[in-house]
């Protein structure tokens, strides 16, 4: 029998680490209805309206918040951050379409109180944060079971991408003004950020304004980008960082040849497989957003994955999933924040003219 205290701890962990519910993997979530031909897309976003942005530098939003001891520096930030949030249209009550609506108040609140607060806020010490709402593909799109569902999922991802593209083009036309750019993303956000990098930066003039990209939670193939390499040191610019977190020793059943996948260790900021102890972890953030937890997690690259020894914190006994996907950023919150600041400074010192290696 679960006692009141244990139930409270379980609730704490659920809110901390499972804001992107993976319930659909167990078949318990609401699934989208119909096939690609039947799907009626939600109303498109109008990016001239601040309501269609989860975060803007001149709008009060959760990306402005910081844990105790840190400061929101967007007003004086030398760079911009374009952040693409992960899937929050995950099969909750009413989530029965292939694409999530951008004017759903409950869905937007879920997005804002989870990924925008716990992930996008990472970057408010180094850049003005721009995070568009987009008609995200339903989580089930990643697990389509037959030809009809796969066709609908492909259509759903394409619709989401068109919103991301429109948002970035609006940002370039109305906000960019030649400033250095960081691209940051998680999970489905990275699905679209990879394409954003390829179509707008890779071998294009805008590559010269790229400080770095943090493409987290989705595999990035080493040959996906032709002119933009993985970062190799903490000071590299014009490059990208990427990782997916799993409990040490775990290899997912669907995992393929890891030698083809780029991985960055977020404690050493290299692509080497040397073990990085938790002593190098400057601090992570769990459910109590205001509190930084130092030495929360270690890190080691293994076969295209980032292995993490199971972290220990109050209630961690209930944290049994070997997939640490939802904590990809949060285990290393302060390390990522400080590294972004370091790369922007390196970019500025190099004269803001491209790769600094």
The pLDDT of residue 27 is 47
The pLDDT of residue 37 is 62
Instruction: Give the total number of structural domains in the chain.
Output: 1
Question: Could you tell me if 201 and 82 are in contact, meaning their C-beta atoms sit under 8 angstroms apart?
Answer: no
Question: Could you tell me if 168 and 62 are in contact, meaning their C-beta atoms sit under 8 angstroms apart?
Answer: no
The token pair at 107 is 């869905």
- For residues 313 and 296, what is the distance between their CA atoms, to the nearest angstrom? 8
Q: Is 221 part of a structural domain of the chain?
A: yes
Q: Is 356 part of a structural domain of the chain?
A: no
The token pair at 83 is 């952040």
State the DSSP H helix or E strand holding residue 127, giving kind and residue range, or none if neither. strand 127-132
Whole-number Cα distances in Å, 307 to 83, 134, 146, 216, 234: 25, 31, 32, 14, 20
- Judge if pTM exceeds 0.85: yes
What does pLDDT average to in each consecutive run of 10 residues of the chain (357 residues)?
34 40 49 76 96 97 97 96 98 92 97 98 97 97 92 96 98 97 98 98 98 97 98 98 96 87 98 97 94 96 97 79 94 98 96 49
Q: Is the dihedral of CA 73, 136, 176, 344 positive or negative?
A: positive
Q: Is 148 part of a structural domain of the chain?
A: yes
Q: Is 355 part of a structural domain of the chain?
A: no
Q: Is 241 part of a structural domain of the chain?
A: yes
The pLDDT of residue 11 is 35
The pLDDT of residue 342 is 98
What region does 126 belong to: left with phi over 0, alpha with psi -120 to 50, or beta?
Answer: alpha
The token pair at 216 is 């987290």
- For residues 299 and 247, what is the distance between their CA atoms, to the nearest angstrom? 10
State the DSSP H helix or E strand holding residue 185, giving kind and residue range, or none if neither. strand 181-186
Q: Could you list the residue range(s) of the whole structural domain that residue 70 is in? A: 4-349
The angle, 0 to 180 degrees and rounded to 10, between the axes of the packed helices 147-171 and 188-196 is 60
Q: Is 357 part of a structural domain of the chain?
A: no
The pLDDT of residue 353 is 45
Q: Is 94 part of a structural domain of the chain?
A: yes
Whole-number Cα distances in Å, 228 to 219, 237, 317: 16, 10, 41
Question: Could you tell me if 297 and 306 are in contact, meaning their C-beta atoms sit under 8 angstroms apart?
Answer: no
């Amino acid at each position: 029998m679960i006692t009141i205290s244990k139930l409270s701890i379980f609730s704490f962990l659920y809110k901390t680490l499972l804001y992107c519910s993976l319930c659909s993997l167990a078949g318990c979530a609401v699934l989208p209805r119909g096939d690609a031909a039947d799907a009626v897309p939600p109303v498109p976003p109008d990016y001239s309206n601040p309501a269609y942005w989860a975060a803007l530098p001149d709008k009060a939003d959760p990306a402005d918040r910081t844990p105790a001891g840190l400061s929101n520096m967007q007003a004086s930030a030398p760079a911009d951050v374009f952040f693409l949030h992960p899937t929050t249209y995950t099969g909750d009550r009413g989530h029965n379409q292939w694409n999530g609506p951008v004017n759903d108040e409950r869905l937007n609140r879920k997005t804002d109180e989870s990924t925008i607060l716990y992930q996008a806020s990472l970057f408010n010490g180094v850049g003005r944060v721009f995070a568009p709402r987009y008609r995200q593909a339903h989580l089930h799109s990643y697990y389509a079971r037959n030809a009809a569902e796969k066709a609908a999922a492909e259509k759903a991802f394409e619709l989401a991408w068109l919103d991301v593209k429109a948002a970035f083009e609006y940002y370039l036309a109305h906000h960019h003004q030649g400033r250095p750019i960081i691209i940051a993303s998680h999970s489905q956000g990275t699905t679209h950020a990879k394409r954003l990098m390829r179509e707008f930066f890779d071998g294009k003039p805008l590559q010269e304004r790229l400080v770095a990209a943090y493409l987290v939670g989705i595999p990035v193939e080493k040959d996906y980008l032709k002119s933009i390499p993985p970062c190799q040191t903490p000071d590299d610019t014009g490059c990208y960082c990427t990782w997916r977190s799993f409990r040490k020793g775990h290899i997912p059943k669907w995992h393929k040849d890891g030698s083809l996948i780029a991985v960055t260790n977020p404690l050493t900021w290299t692509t080497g497989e040397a073990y990085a102890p938790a002593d190098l972890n400057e601090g992570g953030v769990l459910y109590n957003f205001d509190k930084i937890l130092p030495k929360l997690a270690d890190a080691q690259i293994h076969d295209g994955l980032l292995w993490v020894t199971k972290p220990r914190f109050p209630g961690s006994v209930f944290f049994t999933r070997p997939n640490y996907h939802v904590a990809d950023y949060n285990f290393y919150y302060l390390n990522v924040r400080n590294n972004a600041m370091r790369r922007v400074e390196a970019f500025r010192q190099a004269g803001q003219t491209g790769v600094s290696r």
